[in-house]
Amino acid sequence: MGLDLRKPIGYFFLLLGVILTGQGLLTRGAAMYAKSLGININLIWGIVLIVFGLLMLIPALLRKGGGGK
Amino acid sequence: MSSFLPAHGALFLANAVTLAPVDYAILLIYVAFVLGIGFALKRYMKTSADFLTSGRSIPAWVTGLAFLSANLGALELVGMTASGAKYGIATCYFYWVGAIPAMIFLAVFMMPFYYGSKARSVPEYLKLRFDERTRCLNSISFAVMTVFASGISMNALAKLLHQLLGWNYDVSLWICSAIVLAYVLKGGLTSAIYTEVLQFFMIVLGFAPIVYLGLQDVGGWEHLKVLLGGVAQNPAALELNTNTFQPDAWTSAWKPLIGGPTQNPMGVDLFAMLFGLGFVLGFGYWCTNFLVVQRAMAARNMSAARRTPLIAAVPKMIFPILVILPGMIAVGLAVTGKDGYRLPPKPLAAAEYARALPAIKAAAAMDAKAAFESVTAATGMKMNPAKVSALVRDAATLDEATMRNQLQDAVVENDYDGVILSLVKKYCPPGLLGLALTGLLASFMSGMAGNVTAFNTVWTYDLYQAYIAKNKSDEHYATMGRAITVVGILLSIACAYLVSRWSNAMDIIQLVFGFVNAPLFATFLLGMFWKRTTSHGAFFGLLSGISTSALFHALTTSSGNALGIKGGYLWAWAGKTLAELPVRFSFPSDMAQNFWLASFAFLVCFFITLGISLVTARTKNDEELAGLVYSLTPKIVDREESWYMRPSVIAVILLFFCFVLNIIFW
């Protein structure tokens, strides 16, 4: 199949990561983090998602036209 | 839209959460991406094979993760977390005993026949190996099962959206089904497989933080073990079980099992577990269920097809952390009562409120005991006496919403299927909430997509092409494939309404597997590894296996269930009561009943197939069976691959790790 799945997955999690990180930055110290035991989980997990998205995306973009392994 | 079915009414919504814009954004991005993938794949969908079997073109890591994801419907997240709370770490049997060995067996021994025979589906393999009768029986039962499984998935999804977000049940059901329909219709099986992989990552990345936060909150694994030790000695305090157990019953996998059915909360014995679940149900599901096998058959070559289940086995082994541990954490939190947490009560339906609220008002004039009995009768559930009498006492001064709130809280029965949601609600701030919720949504939708794509292939190739319209153009079958996809979705929706009244989705699915899949593995085992197995033997063996399932279920029941609902309907029909039932027909739990049912069905199918094969003549000679039977197929030599890529090497390594896991959680 011509569509390399790593690209949509990469873009998807990159986008979610950016949104979550943004939300985390905007709401630093907000009362809602009492739920997540005082941890700004949006910021931390947003960064994790960005890293995951890039891990998927970069190899796919480097290998032009290649599909999977 | 649903006038022909019982109204779900407005369930109690005070516990619903409100989504922030960021959560809606995540949800919408997910929907946009799955639809986008469907549309992007549309241009590759030319023949019926492209649409229904992906044209055998997908890399192994994709089919591997999809293989796992296809099994991640309502069963996995909701059901396994529910079982994690109900039975503790013993739920891992479904992974380490019921899945890993079977997945490895499929990869090493069975995949060469499925992939090598050029059959397009599991029923088609049966036709090539035996004859049309076995194929017909299998494809019809499979088609029914996929529609039910898909319906169960969608019911769970709509219920979730309704209870958590307050969305309308019917609207949620139809909109989510429409999204699935759109992307499956555009990209066929490939679309389903690709979104399953996306969904796999959504689940892992959406739920890992919740498990982390929950484990921190409960005081870490060692402290959780201490808490669950206390629970095991008095599970009745949380309405988990009426028996009492050794302290390690929730936290140790094998010790309580060896002690017998009274020593473990599942109420199963060692034989039922190892043979019934580990061998019959496990192998029956993973090795013969076209839903999962179809993913491996879509792989780009034989080596990728054989690696598919092996790749899936790695995450499968560690998945209990994501799906079973949260259930155990919830029990740990409930026993400490930290921040007022309790296991979610069974939700009261509108009709129950309608009966109970007047009963509460009327009860003010009665004495305490009569008041409690009257309210309990109105709700039909086990209630907390102190909470009910407080409610009756204050009824005159409370507004209706508060009364509903307190009445719901007074229900002591647990809604295990709601456990995962209660944790999502407890730990997720806006943002993470959207992520976790989208993960859940994704899992249910791909449960539907997976079943519908298996259903449309079996219908088109094994029923329509085989019996209704032979020798038509490929274009004709491609059109049929699309049309039946729409029909499949509609049937699933009807099934969703049907199962919406049944509480534990997990048990229902197990039951369906028991009926259909348990005997089936005997047919495959004999067919693939004994060339003497005849078509007559296979057909009548399978038929008697399925009949045995049905008869067994009609004759037996499990404790705590009335006759006629979950088994025992033959006794109910004969006018007997539960007390008149001979004790050997009653099992300590419905899990045990299911495992024994599977064992019986398998053995009957195995020996009847064997017996009939010995006395009937072979209908296919050795040449016809080449590629279909083990002894008549040239062995695959995988020397051209590096040693660490060979299926047998990976298989041994995986088995070793699986064994180690069992020892660690002994």
pLDDT tens column, B367-387: 878 888 888 888 878 888 888
Size of interface A-B (CB pairs under 8 A): 96
Nearest CB to B59 within list A39, A48, A68:
A68
Q: Looking at the DSSP assignment, which residues form a beta bridge with residue B411? A: B383
Only one residue has tokens 């929907």, namely: B31
Task: Using a CB–CB cutoff of 8 Å, tell me whether B109 touches chain A.
Answer: no
Tell me how close the Cα of A61 comes to any Cα of chain B, in angstroms. Answer: 17
Please tell me which residue, B263 or B74, carries the higher pLDDT value.
Answer: B263
φ, ψ dihedrals at B403, nearest 5°: -60, -45
- Binary contact (B61, A69; C-beta < 8 A): yes
Helix (H, G, I), strand (E, B) or coil at B293: helix
B-chain residues near A9 (CB < 8 A): 197-198, 201
Residue B635: how many other CB atoms lie within 10 Å: 7
- Binary contact (B197, A42; C-beta < 8 A): no
Whole-number pLDDT of residue B9: 32
Whole-number pLDDT of residue B544: 92
- Binary contact (A45, B432; C-beta < 8 A): yes
At B278, the pLDDT band (50, 70, 90 cuts) reads confident
Q: In the predicted model, is pLDDT for residue B561 greater than 80? A: no
- Binary contact (A35, B194; C-beta < 8 A): no
Distance of CA B73 to the CA centre of its chain: 6
Q: In the predicted model, is pLDDT for residue B469 greater than 90? A: no
Task: Using a CB–CB cutoff of 8 Å, tell me whether B649 touches chain A.
Answer: no
- Binary contact (A35, B427; C-beta < 8 A): yes
Which of B562, B568, B603 shows the shortest CA–CA distance to B585?
A: B568
A-chain residues near B201 (CB < 8 A): 9, 13, 52
Please tell me which residue, B567 or B433, carries the higher pLDDT value.
Answer: B433
φ, ψ dihedrals at B9, nearest 5°: 65, -175
- Binary contact (A8, B37; C-beta < 8 A): yes
What is the distance in angstroms between the CA of the first residue and the CA of the last residue of chain A? 12
Q: In the predicted model, is pLDDT for residue B4 greater than 60? A: no
Tell me how close the Cα of B87 comes to any Cα of chain A, in angstroms. Answer: 27
Task: Using a CB–CB cutoff of 8 Å, tell me whether B45 touches chain A.
Answer: no
At B211, the pLDDT band (50, 70, 90 cuts) reads very high
Whole-number pLDDT of residue B138: 86
Quote helix, strand, coil % in chain B, to nearest 5: 75, 0, 25
Average pLDDT, chain B: 83
| Percentage of chain A lying above the pLDDT 70 cut | 88
Alpha-carbon distance values, B66 to A28, B241, B309, B447, B537 (Å): 37, 36, 10, 11, 34
Torsion of CA B25, B31, B34, B39, to 10 degrees: -110
Helix (H, G, I), strand (E, B) or coil at B411: strand
Lowest-pLDDT range of A32-46, B311-325, B450-464, B502-516:
B502-516
Alpha-carbon distance values, B624 to B266, B531, B633 (Å): 46, 11, 11
Beta-strand relationship, B557-558 and B586-587: parallel
Report the distance separating Cα B638 and Cα B310, nearest Å: 15
Report the distance separating Cα B246 and Cα B248, nearest Å: 6
**Contact of B53 with B298, CB cutoff 8 Å:** yes
Mutant choice from A7, A14, A18, A23 vs B, greatest count of B C-beta within 10 A: A23
Whole-number pLDDT of residue B8: 31
pLDDT, tens digit, for every residue of B600-644?
A: 999 999 999 999 999 988 888 888 888 788 877 777 766 656 777
pLDDT, tens digit, for every residue of B395-431?
A: 778 888 888 888 888 888 888 888 888 888 888 888 8
Task: Using a CB–CB cutoff of 8 Å, tell me whether B28 touches chain A.
Answer: no
Report the distance separating Cα B629 and Cα B367, nearest Å: 74
Q: In the predicted model, is pLDDT for residue A53 greater than 90? A: yes
Residue A62: how many other CB atoms lie within 10 Å: 8
A-chain residues near B432 (CB < 8 A): 20, 36, 41-42, 45
Q: What is the ipTM of this complex?
A: 0.90
Report the distance separating Cα B444 and Cα B441, nearest Å: 5
- Binary contact (B59, A8; C-beta < 8 A): no
B-chain residues near A7 (CB < 8 A): none
Taking CA atoms, what residue in B is nearest to A49?
B205
**Contact of B311 with B90, CB cutoff 8 Å:** no
DSSP code at position B367: -
- Binary contact (A3, B213; C-beta < 8 A): no
Q: In the predicted model, is pLDDT for residue B232 greater than 60? A: yes
Superfamily designation of domain B21-255+283-339+420-501: Sodium/glucose cotransporter (1.20.1730.10)
Domain chopping of chain B, boundaries: 21-255+283-339+420-501, 350-413, 504-634
DSSP code at position B621: -
Whole-number pLDDT of residue B7: 29
| Mean pLDDT, rounded, for B459-471 | 85
Whole-number pLDDT of residue B102: 92
Taking CA atoms, what residue in B is nearest to A15?
B29
Q: In the predicted model, is pLDDT for residue B83 greater than 90? A: no
pLDDT, tens digit, for every residue of B98-119?
A: 889 999 999 888 888 888 887 8
Whole-number pLDDT of residue A67: 44
| Percentage of chain A lying above the pLDDT 90 cut | 35
Report the distance separating Cα B205 and Cα B116, nearest Å: 36
Only one residue has tokens 């591997």, namely: B64
Mutant choice from A7, A11, A28, A36 vs B, greatest count of B C-beta within 10 A: A36
A-chain residues near B57 (CB < 8 A): 1
DSSP code at position B414: B
B-chain residues near A3 (CB < 8 A): 37, 40-41, 44, 194
At A68, the pLDDT band (50, 70, 90 cuts) reads very low
Please tell me which residue, B499 or B155, carries the higher pLDDT value.
Answer: B155
| Mean pLDDT, rounded, for B545-554 | 87
Tell me how close the Cα of B427 comes to any Cα of chain A, in angstroms. Answer: 5
- Binary contact (A5, B29; C-beta < 8 A): no
B-chain residues near A33 (CB < 8 A): 429
Tell me how close the Cα of B66 comes to any Cα of chain A, in angstroms. Answer: 12
- Binary contact (A41, B429; C-beta < 8 A): yes
Whole-number pLDDT of residue B213: 92
Q: Find which of B160-169, B216-225, B626-635 is predicted with most confidence, using mean pLDDT.
A: B216-225
- Binary contact (A41, B213; C-beta < 8 A): yes
Lowest-pLDDT range of A5-14, B207-216, B403-412, B544-553:
B403-412
Domain chopping of chain A, boundaries: 6-62
**What single string gives the DSSP state of each residue in B544-611?**
HHHHHHHHHHHH-EETT--TTTSS-HHHHHTT--GGGS-GGGEESSHHHHHHHHHHHHHHHHHHHHHH
- Binary contact (A35, B428; C-beta < 8 A): yes
Only one residue has tokens 């155990």, namely: B328
Nearest CB to B431 within list A24, A39, A69:
A24
Helix (H, G, I), strand (E, B) or coil at B345: strand
Taking CA atoms, what residue in B is nearest to A69?
B59
At B6, the pLDDT band (50, 70, 90 cuts) reads very low
Task: Using a CB–CB cutoff of 8 Å, tell me whether B23 touches chain A.
Answer: no
Whole-number pLDDT of residue B640: 58
| Mean pLDDT, rounded, for B61-86 | 82
Report the distance separating Cα B520 and Cα B538, nearest Å: 9
